[in-house]
Amino acid sequence: MKRIILLVEDDALMREFITDYFKKEQWDVLEAENGRVAMELFETHTVDLIVLDIMMPEMDGWSVCRRIREQSDVPIMIMTARTDDDDQLLGFELGADEYVMKPLSPRVLVARATALMKRTEGTVGRDGDTLIFGGIAVNRKSRTVTIEGEPVTLAPKEYELLLFLMKHAGKVLSRDYILNAVWGYDYMGDLRTVDTHVKKLRAKLGPASRYVSTVVRSGYKFEVEG
């Protein structure tokens, strides 16, 4: 079955260029020239991935990302010419899964999109509410977690940490990256906060804690294979 991408880019030539590359790789492409059209297409079509420009008329990419995350966990790749670290942090805080810089190679963009889909494909319910890996299921709408069908009670930050790790399954995440994304870049605590919460989370996950692995001198990774 073909994957469906929603490409949101106000530059018509860039949009056409990127669309051609995705179609060559057997993707179906929905095109939006601004944020308003993007939301209309998102609300009337089922998509597997969103590639989202930031600087757009009518509704910017930040607003689109925020609105989509209120109702879905569909993978989102942000692309922008802005290089400010705070912009990247904002993107991740809003729930983006990848951040690519312009100018970009469409071939590289397609490759990164394919890699992102491999990490997430089959783990997000078509209703956009539930992430599932192995026996762990996280429902974003109800903010509940079950393991092999049994409910698990997590503190708010433990829940957010687990959700963040699962959304980036298979990817090594530094402690600094996790701290900024889960606690916010203005949080005054240190990196030990991450270690403490990972320890508590593992204890509550029981045997399923094998999915949360430590990567020496790097950080943590949610293993796709347990």
> 130-222 domain in CATH 3.30.110.30?
no
pLDDT tens-digit readout, 34-62: 999 999 999 888 888 999 998 888 888 88
Can you give the pLDDT at residue 208?
A: 92
Classify the C-alpha dihedral 136-137-138-144 as positive or negative: negative
Domain boundary assignment for the chain: 3-121, 130-222
β-strands 173-174, 212-215 pairing: unpaired
Can you give the pLDDT at residue 32?
A: 95
Can you give the pLDDT at residue 13?
A: 92
- Give mean pLDDT in consecutive 10-residue pieces for the chain, a chain of 226 residues: 86 92 92 94 88 87 86 82 66 77 84 79 56 83 88 92 87 86 76 93 94 90 75
Question: Long-range CB contacts (< 8 A, 24+ apart) of 59-67?
Answer: 59/34, 59/35, 60/35, 61/8, 61/35, 62/90, 62/91, 62/94, 63/35, 64/8, 64/35, 64/38, 64/39, 65/91, 65/94, 65/95, 65/96, 66/94, 66/95, 67/39
Can you give the pLDDT at residue 148?
A: 86
Look at residues 139, 138, 140, 142 and name the one whose alpha carbon lies nearest to residue 205.
Answer: 138
Which 3 state secondary structure label does DSSP give 89?
A: helix
Can you give the pLDDT at residue 168?
A: 81
Contact present, 96 and 72 (Cβ < 8 Å): no
Fold of 3-121: Rossmann fold (3.40.50)
